[in-house]
Structure 1
Amino acid sequence: MAYEPPTHAVERSIRATTGAKIVAGIDEVGRGAWAGPVTVCAAVTGLRRPPVGLTDSKLITPKRRAEMAELLEGWVTAHALGHASPEEIDELGMTAALRLAAGRALEGLPVRPDAIILDGKHDYLGVPWQVRTVIKGDQSCVAVAAASVIAKVHRDAMMAQLPEEFTAFGFADNAGYPSPVHKAALRELGPTPYHRLSWAYLDYLPQWRHLKKVRLSPEAAELESGGQLGFDF
């Protein structure tokens, strides 16, 4: 299926209405996973013509996605990654963990953006950042699409490099998301040190339910619909 390529339309609008000169696109990956960090990429692309084939990372094959990420890392004006660990997700909840990871990504940029295009409908960054949320921004906005691809490739690589003792969970293939292999390993072996122990999947595993952690943050229940799916053990 052919997709419309992303454009700079939103960035041009932000520049025209706010006077912003540096606009970063932000996207995350790992929100719905049961294991591993949530990873955020902040990318600054300027208004140059994007590489052919750039779109939301989920719409690109793994091989092409890896090639695109390598190309993008030399093409973007600047980019940086930020992560929030499973422990931080358990303690803070996903909303605050996303804010933490995004803050780390923004701090890693060599330039400070004047404005941000954030994928989705919820502004989890807030003050002091000037944010424009865009639903499906990873498909429509160049900087967000670039961030989407870079974040996805880097997080997948991190999950594939976890210790061999956890091979049974299939992290190299499922990146910590629910899959038949992942679920079977959880039933038999229980969660690893890389699992999010506050999430509801443990409610469906009586033999491991005692490991579940109670979140402390009042924000903990927000933005976690992805973590509530796939409990057909």
Structure 2
Amino acid sequence: MPGDELLVAGVDEAGRGPLAGPVFAAAVILDAHRPIAGLDDSKKLTAARREVLAAQIKVQALAWRITWTEAAEIDRINILQATLAAMRAACRGLDIVPGLILVDGNRLPTGLPCVARALIGGDASEPSIAAASILAKTARDAWCLELHRRYPLYAFDRHKGYGTALHLARLAEYGPCPEHRRSFAPVRRSLVDA
């Protein structure tokens, strides 16, 4: 259990840009006495390496939490507010209250349980934020694989919901599925064109 050191929770999100599905957020308090080698911004790691690190984080961290905001809520309150809501829920859901929260980016959620700082590029410089980015990304990727099983015509296993040429072609051909974000322009256009 932690001693007198300041407990820092790192927070990051995954899935702000995709056209479908929830935005995920994670908060992680690492154990200073059990460092995890190789933590980095999840985008700089291979999928296989992220999976290995995610399993290690879940075992070795003092506390972690993954939360998400659904597509319908994103459409209702907008992607920024939905992202901040997921981050707030992740922080408040930790089993240990941290002394400091470091959030990747330039915006802080309201209602956090302690003092917090926004840190642009924090996922590349702060291990706890890197750990959070890995948990959020692996959770969202797993969700996309499940979505692919439910709606295989859209190829969510390949584009993970991002607006790739393949995804836009499938969206144009089949229209949106229930998990598409109707407030995002390409999805909105596909509804008009249908």
Q: Same fold (TM over 0.5)?
A: yes
**Aligned length, in residue pairs:** 190
Match of 2:110 in 1: 126
TM-score, L = length of structure 2:
0.90
Which digits, 9 at most, give the CA deviation of each residue in 1:80-132, with x for residues without a partner?
Answer: 01100000000001222112212221232111222210001222x13454211
Confirm or deny: 8 A CA contact 2:31 2:60 kept in the other structure: no
Confirm whether residue 199 of structure 1 aligns to residue 180 of structure 2.
no
SS of match in other structure, 2:151 = helix
SS of match in other structure, 1:24 = strand
Match of 2:80 in 1: 95
SS of match in other structure, 1:132 = strand
Q: What's the Cα RMSD here?
A: 2.0
Amino acid across the alignment from 1:112:
V
CA distance in 2, matches of 1:32, 1:192: 17
Confirm or deny: 8 A CA contact 2:148 2:157 kept in the other structure: no
The percentage of counterpart residues that share the same residue type is 35
CA distance in 1, matches of 2:127, 2:33: 9
Which digits, 9 at most, give the CA deviation of each residue in 1:122-176, with x for residues without a partner?
Answer: 22x1345421111110010010000010110011001101263511211112211
Amino acid across the alignment from 1:78:
A
Confirm or deny: 8 A CA contact 1:20 1:114 kept in the other structure: no
5+ residue gaps, structure 2: none
Match of 1:76 in 2: 61
TM-score, L = length of structure 1:
0.75
SS of match in other structure, 1:162 = helix
Confirm or deny: 8 A CA contact 1:50 1:142 kept in the other structure: no
CA gap 1:29/1:150 in 2 versus in 1, 3 angstroms: same
Confirm or deny: 8 A CA contact 1:33 1:176 kept in the other structure: yes
Pick from 209, 213, 216 the counterpart of residue 192 of structure 2. 209
Pick from 141, 145, 165 the counterpart of residue 160 of structure 1. 145
